[in-house]
């Protein structure tokens, strides 16, 4: 077995163990399919949302925007999908708060460590339910169904529940209702057609005896560009890959396994465990550069720059490099070019304007699952807390030894 194959197996095992440990620490009650889960009141005040309550999150890992400007959040640590309305009201869109894979409506459904989100023009929300190895769909009314996966770890192409994934982290949907999945544990990009049939779109299946390595190394985020190309945050190789509509894979930005925060031309720039990507209507690509605590931009000419972030963990609202993040994860871009960030370790949702102005949309900086009205002022106590130098719990591999 080649050294890179051994390294991949080690990292995959570490990633899986981290997820299991995190799951055990967060929630220890499992809801089986068909069971009615107990309902957790996360509304802030007995089923109503009060204007004087401050909404909280727990390691948010994904964001998505609908056509009217509502923001959806994969609240990873709470096993919830949250919604932030255009008026700033934070509510629970789906999920009971207990780990599980029950289909149902609103709080009768359950998730386990939901990670990536994507939304189609009809307002259907797609969820990479990482802890359950499932891809879920939530319609605009909040009804949750399972599109593909069997809640067992593996690699199987097939229809609906006959298919299997291994820690799916990212999802993207195109204009033809095709869903692309970053199947991190399998080092593959999977494709789900509108009828629910799952196939392998890009990457090489590792059979244990194969001499051909997959170009992917724990892919964790995917996004569709306006020309139909798919962009992939190739997490453990510290680069961004591009997949053509025919499935051809090439390096779009970054230097394979070379870690850093250098800006410049695409193939000379460096990243440090990039975990999520998003695109805008012009074809610019945005990268959540997790360990560097930066949001990077790759423009249409292939130049990499820092859109926002100082590189020092923090929660400062400011402009460009004067702002700070702590373990940024999922990204989404609206029609005006504003970038929304699931600032995972800060338990906040942040917004970056095209000019690089960073503000906090929702979240106090404290862990929790309370709903309420996001207010314009910041929690001063939270700002005084020394940021913990940690990564999103989803992505916490050991440092790599170079050979």
CA dihedral 192, 194, 197, 203 (to 10 degrees): -20
The pLDDT value recorded for residue 22 is 38
CA distance 379 to 36: 37
Ranges of beta strands (E only) in 203-356 are 219-224, 230-234, 239-243, 249-254, 264-265, 274-279, 285-289, 294-298, 303-308, 328-333, 339-343, 348-352
The pLDDT value recorded for residue 387 is 39
Q: For every one of its 403 residues, what pLDDT tens digit does the chain have, with 9 covering 90 and above? A: 444 444 454 444 444 444 334 333 333 333 333 333 333 333 333 333 334 468 999 999 999 999 999 999 999 999 999 999 999 999 999 999 999 999 999 999 999 999 999 999 999 999 999 999 999 999 999 999 999 999 889 999 999 999 999 999 999 999 999 999 999 999 999 999 988 999 999 999 876 666 678 899 999 999 999 999 999 999 999 999 999 999 999 999 999 989 999 999 999 999 999 999 999 999 999 999 999 999 999 999 999 999 999 999 999 999 999 999 999 999 999 999 999 999 999 999 999 999 999 999 999 999 999 999 986 444 433 333 333 433 343 443 333 333 2
Q: What is the DSSP letter of 322?
A: G
CA dihedral 181, 186, 187, 193 (to 10 degrees): -30
The pLDDT value recorded for residue 299 is 98
Q: What are phi and psi of 21, to 5 degrees?
A: -65, -45
Q: Tell me how crowded residue 339 is: count the other CB atoms within 10 A of its CB.
A: 25
Residues with Cβ < 8 Å from 25, sequence gap 6 or more? none
């Amino acid at each position: 077995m080649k050294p890179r194959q051994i390294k991949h197996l080690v990292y995959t095992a570490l990633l899986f163990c981290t997820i299991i440990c995190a799951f055990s620490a967060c929630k220890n009650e499992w809801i089986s399919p068909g069971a009615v889960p107990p309902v957790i009141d996360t509304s802030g005040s007995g089923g109503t949302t009060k204007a004087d309550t401050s909404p909280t999150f727990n390691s948010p890992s994904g964001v998505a925007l609908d056509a009217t400007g509502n923001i959806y959040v994969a609240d990873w640590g709470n096993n919830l999908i949250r919604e932030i309305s255009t008026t700033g009201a934070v509510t629970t869109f789906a999920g009971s708060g207990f780990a599980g894979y029950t289909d149902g409506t609103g709080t009768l459904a359950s998730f386990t460590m939901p990670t990536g989100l994507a939304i189609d023009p009809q307002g259907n929300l797609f969820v990479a339910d990482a802890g359950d190895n499932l891809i879920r769909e939530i319609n605009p009314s909040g009804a949750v169904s399972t599109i593909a996966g069997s809640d067992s770890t593996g690699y199987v192409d097939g229809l609906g529940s006959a298919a299997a994934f291994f820690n799916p982290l990212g999802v993207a949907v195109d204009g033809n209702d095709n869903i692309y999945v970053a199947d991190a544990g399998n080092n593959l990009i999977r494709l789900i057609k509108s009828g629910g049939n799952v196939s392998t779109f890009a990457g090489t299946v590792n059979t244990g005896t194969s001499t051909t390595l997959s170009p992917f190394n724990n892919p964790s985020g995917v996004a569709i560009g306006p020309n139909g190309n798919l962009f992939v945050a190739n997490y453990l190789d510290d680069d961004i890959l591009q997949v053509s509509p025919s499935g051809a894979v090439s390096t779009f930005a970054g230097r394979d396994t070379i870690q850093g925060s250098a800006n410049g031309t695409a193939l000379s720039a460096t990243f440090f465990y990039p975990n999520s990507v998003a695109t805008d209507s012009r074809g610019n690509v945005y990268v959540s550069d997790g360990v560097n605590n930066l949001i990077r931009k790759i423009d249409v000419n292939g130049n990499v720059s820092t859109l926002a972030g100082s590189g020092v963990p923090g929660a400062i609202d400011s402009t460009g490099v004067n702002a700070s993040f702590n373990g940024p994860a999922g990204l989404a871009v609206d029609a005006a070019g504003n970038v929304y960030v699931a600032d995972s370790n800060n338990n906040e949702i942040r917004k970056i304007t095209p000019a690089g102005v960073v503000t906090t949309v929702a979240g106090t900086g404290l862990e929790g699952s309370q709903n309420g009205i996001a207010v314009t002022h910041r929690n001063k106590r939270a700002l005084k807390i020394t940021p913990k130098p940690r990564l999103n719990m989803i992505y916490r591999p050991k440092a790599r030894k170079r050979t």
